[in-house]
Amino acid sequence: MLRLLRSASVRLTLVFAGLFVVAALILAGLLWWSTGAYLERETDAVIAADIQAIGDRLRDFGLPGAVTTIQERVAETADEHAIYLLTDPTLVPIAGNLSAWPAAVGPEQGWYQAALVRDGRPYAARLLHVSLRGGFQLLVGRDIQSWLAIRALILNALGWATLAALILAIGGGLLVRRAVLARIAQVNRTTAAIVQGDLRRRLPAPEEEDEFGRLALTINEMLSQIELLVEGVRNASNAVAHDLRTPLAELRAHLEGIGRGPSDAAPIPDAVRGALADAIADVDRLVAMCNALLRLAEIDSGARRAGFAKVALAHLVAEVAELYAALAEEKGATLTVDAAAAIEVTGDPDMLAQAVGNLLDNAVKYAPTGHIALTLGRRDDGRATIVVADDGPGIPAAERDKAAERFYRGDASRGSPGHGLGLAEVAAVAKLHGGALELTDNAPGLKATLVLGTA
C-alpha cells in the first residue's frame, strides 16, 4: 500500500477521486438542505395559519366558535395529516383528533417534534403549542412522516450518488493514470537505453501537439545536444589514444634498438641501460593506458552488446583465478576461490574476464602479502555477484564514490604503478551488463563487488 502511495499517478488518482466526491457531496447536501428547509417552512406556515384562525374564532365567538372551527377542520378529508387538540387549563381534551395531550409536549409554549400513534401506526409530527384566552391550551401540528421519508430518500440517494461518484472518479483517475504512465514508460525505456550507452535513442515523435508532445520534442533536442557533446569529448580522447599508439610503439622499438646497440660498439653503461629500461616501462604504461581508453570507448558505445552470449560465470572465474594465482603466490599473497555456484549471465566473456582480472590485479597490488578471496554468488533479487575481498589498506570511505572515476588515484595509491583506469573499466563493464560496481569496507581491506544482471 505504501509503495502504491509513493506513485505520483496513484496520488493524482486519489486527489481526483476526492475532489469528485467532495463536489458530489456538496451538491447533494445543498439539495437535501434546501428541500428540507422548504418543506419545514411550508409546514410551519400552515400550522401558524391554523393557530391564528382558531384563536380569532375563540376571541370573536368564544369557546363554541373555536370548537366548531376545530371540528370542521378535523372533518375535512382534504388534509388527513392535520393534528388538532384544544384542552382546558388542566389539559383535559375539549375538541380535536387527539385523545390525550402528548407526553412529549411540555408546558412551555413553542415548537415540538414528537412521535405519535394513529390507527396503530407510529408517525412523526411537528407541533406548535400556544395558550389562548381563558387558559385554554391549543396544540396544532402536521404529520411530517412523508417529508421525513423524502429526506431519508434524499440521504439514501446521496449515499448512492457518493458511491457512484467515487467509482467514476477512480475510473477516470485510472484512465488518466494509464495515459500518463504510458507516456512515462516511453521516457523510461528511452532513458534506460541511453544509460546503457545508446546515445542515439530518442523519444517517439509526438502524434499531437499537447504538453507531452512538446516535452518529448524538448527532451529529444536535449538528447541530441548531449550526444553531440559526449561524442565530441569521446572522439577527441579516442583519437588521441589511437593516434598515440603508433608513435609510442615506434618509440619503444627505438629505445630497444638503442639498448641493443651495434654489435661492434662499446658496451652500454649499466646506468644508461637502466634508464632505457625505465623509459621502456613508461612507454608500456602509456600504451596500456591508451588501450584501456579505447576499451572504455568501446564499452561506452555499447557496440559489444550485439555479441552477447550465455556465459558460465563459474568457468570464467576459475580461469581468471588460475591466471592470477601464480602472481599472487609470487607476491606472497594467498588466493582462495569459491565459484561452485552454477550461474549464467548474458554478456561478453572477454569483457567480464577483463573486469574480474582488474579486480584481482588491484587486490594483488595493494595487498601483496595478505589474503585475497574470490567468491561467486547470487543475491536475493536474482542478480549474480563476483566479489573480490582483500585485507590490504582498503579505500577510505570518502574516496570510494570517486574510485571508479577515470584517472582518479587516491592518496594511498599515488606512489604505486597504474593509470587510474582499472576500476573505471570494471564499472563500465558492470553498467554494460545491467549491473554496478560496489566498493565496501572489508574490515580490514576492500571488498569489491561486481553485480551483474542474470540471464
Domains of the chain: residue spans and CATH:
2-152 (3.30.450), 211-301 (1.10.287), 304-452 (3.30.565.10)
Query: How far apart are alpha carbons 88 and 67 in whole angstroms?
Result: 12
Show the CA angle centred on residue 153, arms to residues 142 and 121, nearest 5°: 45
Dihedral angle over CA of 106, 107, 113, 119, nearest 10? 80
CA distance 448 to 454: 19
Cβ atoms 251, 286 nearer than 8 A: no
Q: How far is CA 446 from CA 13, 19, 240, 411, 424, in A?
A: 47, 55, 33, 15, 16
User: CA 60 to CA 386: how far, in whole Å?
Assistant: 111
Angle at the Cα of 133 from the Cα atoms of 128 and 134, rounded to 5 degrees: 115
In degrees rounded to 5, what are phi and psi of residue 317?
Answer: -65, -40
- Among candidates 315, 312, 376, which has minimal Cα distance to 344? 312
| 449 touches 437 (CB < 8 A) | yes
Handedness of CA 365, 366, 368, 370 (dihedral sign): negative
- Closest residue by Cα to residue 447 from 396, 400, 388: 388
With residue 330 as reference, give the H or E element that holds it.
helix 313-331
**Grid coordinates standing for 1?**
500500500
Quick one: angle between helices 349-366 and 422-432, nearest 10? 150
Q: What is the pLDDT of residue 455?
A: 46
The Cα 365–Cα 422 span in angstroms is 12
pLDDT of residue 166: 74
Grouping H, G, I as helix, E, B as strand and the rest as coil, residue 310 is: strand
Give the model's pLDDT for residue 321. 87
Kindly give the pairing relationship between strand 344-347 and strand 309-312: antiparallel
- For residues 290 and 296, give the distance between their C-alpha atoms in angstroms, rounded to a whole number: 10
Note the residue count of the chain: 455
Which residues lie across from 344 on neighbouring strands? Answer: 312
Under DSSP, is residue 378 helix (H, G, I), strand (E, B) or coil? strand
Q: Phi/psi at 111 (nearest 5 deg)?
A: -90, 140
Question: Nearest CA to 364 among 276, 254, 253, 448?
Answer: 448
Give the pLDDT of residue 82. 84
Q: What are the angstrom distances between the C-alpha of 378 and each of 59, 321, 385, 442, 450? A: 103, 19, 6, 19, 11
Taking 50 as the pLDDT cut, the residues of the chain under it are 455
Contact 356, 379 (CB under 8 A): no
Minimal CA–CA distance to 363: which of 395, 399, 388?
388
b or e along 41-75 (b: 16 or more beta carbons within 10 Å of the residue's beta carbon)?
Answer: eebeebbeebbeebbebbeeeebeebbebbeebbe
Q: Is 180 exposed, middle or buried (0-12, 13-18, 19+ CB in 10 A)?
A: middle
